[in-house]
A and B are shown apart, each in its own frame.
Chain A
Amino acid sequence: MLSSERWSDIKRISSEAFELPAESRADFLARSCPNALRAEVEQLLRLCERVSSTPTFLDARATDFAAPMVAHVEQNPIDLVALRAALAGRYTIERELGRGGMATVYLARDERQPRHVALKVVHSRQAHVAGSSGARFKREIEIAARLTHPHILPLHDSGAAGECLYYVMPFVSGESLRDRIARSGSLSLQDALHLLRDVARALAYAHREGIVHRDIKPGNILLNQDGDAVVADFGIARALAAARTDGAADHGSADLAFGTPAYSAPEQLWGDPDTDQRADLYSLGVMAYEMLCGARPFAGRSATELVAVQQIELPESVTTHRPDVPAELAALIQGLLSRDPADRPQDAGEVVRTLNGMIAAAEPTNVARAKRQARRRIALLAGVTFVMLISIPAVRALRASHARTLERGTSNEDAWQAYVRGTELTQDPRQGNLEQALSQFDKAIRLDSNFARAWAGLANVYTRQLVFSPDQPTDARANAERAVTQALELDSNLVEANYVRAHLFMLECRADDAQRAFERSLTLDPAYAHAHGTYGLFLHFTGRQDSALAHLRRARKLGPESWGAEALLGRVFVNINKPDSAIPYLRSAVSFRRDLVFGYQQLAFAWLEKDMKDSAIAAMRHAAEWDWRDSAQLVYVYAKTGQREEARRIVQRLVNTKSQRKLPVAGMAMAYAALGNIDEAFRTLERDSCLPALGVSAGYESLRSDPRFADLLRRKGLNRPGF
């Protein structure tokens, strides 16, 4: 390294030279610069000239230079790489569900139980995680985790992962009250009354248990599939405050600042240390006001203005905006919004009783109630933004631990672990994983031969081999049948087994049996994503496209394997000639799974439809790189883009291969058809006993007009009603 002394000389001589007019510098160096330093001085001088004549980034202010970068980091407050690493073995993050100022919510797979959860990560700037603050956070949150109430979203778990604090909740289906208000403006009187009562009941229970929410607002109220309100984030405010304090047990004022100013009671905004559960009642009042009027009292005031405005102004009565609100309800809301906590109802139970009276009066008959519920369900189904979903398996998993054996279906811990591992491997379609999944399920069955779910898992793997593996192991179908029969004998109500049975019926083109089995699966568990996904595909094959899309979208929302549902959504859109709708889904699917051959193939079809030949060829070539037999579909693309020589060359290579492995029937038929060899295409199609996709798939268009195609569909049982 350059010594300080030498550098000091180089710098001095260069600087002196640089201060001279440009034309005198050479003379100066000749006179004053020792030869030993000459080269370095000249180099530095040139650089000085360079940076003086042309500005560099160093001439800007660092904060200006860095501003876009800082903004980017602030907008992406979570370091996903670090978070994933910290959660490894416990949760696997699948995708982001939503993001607020305080936290980001992810859909995650629980690695210890086969379920999906909502994992909420607190942005590190909300709680500086240092020293024991993670432990304090966990201790506080465990107090809240004891709450069990139908209108309170339970907490599964919490902890610190790297710099971030996180907590885990069931994955809930439905929108939040925030979304609902944004979507429909104000709510009907009936809906508002019921939702308010749900929240008031939750508050009454939690307050009895000594827990104040401190952040009641529409974003924290989730509406489940029955349209009931479920309060999220109980105890979080206190836990975050605990994490932020310096270990002193002084929670007095520090945690009061927490909350969303627009919904906070005056005493909470003031930081009054005597703030108690009545602050939640004020927030309930603000929320009630917003539900009925579509806007909050004092809407449009800034946080700092609010503190003053609340002191000097009273909110306008609800009835000025909503004349249909009964006087009694308006009075209740006005009471909740009282500046002085002593003027509010003193406990949430009182609010529940008042609302009970109003609901009874407003709803004299059961007929009205049934109608209301039906209306609510329709409204929910029409909802545009589903933020979170409560899946039935998730709710099931919440039951107390003594019921675990019942839930799991085995009392053998090792069998359970093998089953969980097998399930994971099944969902990860990389080479060799299905074989490993088979051995895990085999192991689970060896340990507990009455473990029905393991039998169903085994059947599912064999079925997937039929679908995904071009080799189609000859006994896979028989093995799948045997395993699923065993599973159903052990437990005829097992949703996983009924689903696999439905899938097998579909692959055998037994449409009526498949229809019944799918329906049964979805009756057993309306939130079983796999059933929605495969049923969607079945509906597509049988010509019911709108229902197909609805079920596939549901599968995508529910997860796991949202990427699989996306790929299938793409396939349906490709086949119904809507490439523009297909492409975003397919891109998302292949970005999640870069080895999703099927996704690239469908992308190629979509781009071909849009006449984007280069993209289509690139996508198909990429697909063929994973398995050379997929070159068959590449033939189709080359033929369609006018490169028939290249197409013929690939066909010859495929046919001449001495490999024992089977060529894909559908792909080869498509290749022959595209090259105009219609007879060979039909001969190839005869080789498969059933191709349920034959009627709808892209790639067969040159065969459709041939009478042999209709005959083929008939003989394969595909032309019956339903198929």
Chain B
Amino acid sequence: MSADSDPREPESITDALLALRQGLPSAMDQLVPLVYEQLRRIAHRQLGAEAAGHTLSTTGLVHEAYLKLVDQTRVQWQDGAHFFAVAATVMRRVLVEYARRANAARRGGGSNGQKHTRIALEGIEIPIAERAAVLVDLDEALQRLVRIDARLAQIVDCRFFAGLTESETAAALSISQRTVAREWVVAKAWLFQELRNAEQ
């Protein structure tokens, strides 16, 4: 009996979202670990199953989490936007956590453990170790980016980590779609530079 179907969980995520709308400061503290645990479970099941030959669902994990975990009858659209904004950042943590574990496993596999990140930009086949290294480097770059431009980092979380569309990102962050489009290009450009520097 997997915890996905535990009937208590969605209610508490929904409750946390409702509390967030009412401005309860502790609501965010409640929400983040709940969303983390659920996204981790969904990633485990979805992406782990992919290895066994199943195909990845066409909707993003974050969308799936929203549909499963948030009681649609009780929330308004702003609550959903809040959820996506939180889930996008949490999704980064989930995937970076996997990346760190993949790196640890690689070190255990007898490799020399050297860090050699290459950002494969032309969509060629990238080895697992490099995917992991790229995600860890990306996370570190985003932590630097937050200090100079927090919104840009949030846009990366929404567009890349949560796989949200431009309009979904705009709704989640309460900004215009045009801003999202413009800033997303800048974010990619900045990260391109940062990751290239990390490589050298």
Contacts and interface: CB of A to CB of B under 8 A. Distances in A.
B149 interface: yes
B189 A51 contact: yes
Nearest to B48: A74
A568 to B, nearest CB: 23
Contacts of B121: 54-57
Given A63-B60, A72-B128, A73-B98, A19 B123 contact: no
Contacts of B122: 54-55
A58 B160 contact: yes
Contacts of B98: 66, 69-70, 73
A716 B98 CA distance: 62
A67 B48 CA distance: 8
Interface string A1-37: 1111001100100110011000000000000000000
B104 interface: yes
A73 B149 contact: no
Contacts of A271: 1
Nearest to B45: A74
B8 interface: no
A591 B110 CA distance: 9
B188 A73 contact: no
Contacts of A68: 128, 131
A468 interface: no
Contact of A51 (B43, B107, B156, B185): B185
A50 interface: yes
A66 B131 contact: yes
Specify the main secondary structure of chain B where it touches its partner: helix
B10 to A, nearest CB: 19
B47 interface: yes
A47 interface: yes
Given A64-B56, A80-B108, A81-B108, A11 B95 contact: no
Contacts of B110: 591
Interface size class of A (residues with CB under 8 A): 35 or more
Interface string B147-170: 111001000100111110000000
A125 interface: yes
A52 interface: yes
A62 interface: yes
Given A4-B149, A56-B119, A63 B43 contact: yes
Interface residues of B, number: 55
B134 interface: yes
B15 to A, nearest CB: 19
A61 B102 contact: no
A219 to B, nearest CB: 19
A315 B132 CA distance: 49
Contact of A47 (B56, B95, B193): B193
A62 B101 contact: no
B88 to A, nearest CB: 10
A69 B160 contact: no
Contacts of A125: 44
B24 interface: no
Question: Chain A's interface: helix, strand, loop or mixed, by majority?
Answer: helix
A257 B2 CA distance: 9
Contacts of B50: 67, 70-71
A66 B192 contact: no
Nearest to B145: A7
A74 B128 CA distance: 13
A19 B107 CA distance: 45
A19 B182 contact: yes
B189 A1 contact: no
Contacts of B193: 43, 47
Residue among B128, B189, B190 having the largest count of chain A Cβ atoms under 10 Å? B189
A64 B183 CA distance: 23
B69 interface: no
Contacts of B47: 63, 66-67, 70-71, 74
B91 interface: yes
Interface string B27-54: 0000000000000000110111011000
Given A15-B182, A58-B156, A69-B132, A50 B189 contact: yes
B189 A48 contact: yes
Given A62-B160, A63-B56, A79 B105 contact: yes
B43 A69 contact: no
Interface string A86-125: 0000000000000000000000000000000000000001
A303 B95 CA distance: 30
A61 B48 contact: no
Contacts of A69: 98-99, 102, 128, 131-132, 135
A405 interface: no
Given A69-B102, A71-B48, A81 B107 contact: yes
A217 to B, nearest CB: 18
28 contacts: A1-B147, A7-B148, A14-B186, A18-B182, A47-B190, A47-B192, A50-B189, A50-B192, A51-B189, A54-B122, A56-B119, A56-B121, A57-B134, A58-B159, A61-B160, A61-B163, A62-B91, A63-B60, A63-B61, A64-B56, A66-B47, A66-B98, A69-B98, A69-B99, A69-B132, A74-B44, A75-B51, A125-B44
Interface of A: 1-4, 7-8, 11, 14-15, 18-19, 43-44, 47-48, 50-52, 54-76, 79-82, 84, 125, 257, 271, 591
Interface of B: 1, 43-44, 46-48, 50-51, 56, 60-61, 91-92, 95, 98-99, 101-102, 104-105, 107-108, 110, 119-123, 126, 128, 131-132, 134-135, 144, 147-149, 152, 156, 159-163, 182-183, 185-186, 188-193
Ranked 9 nearest A-B pairs via Cβ: A71-B51, A74-B48, A47-B189, A70-B47, A61-B163, A257-B1, A81-B108, A80-B108, A51-B188
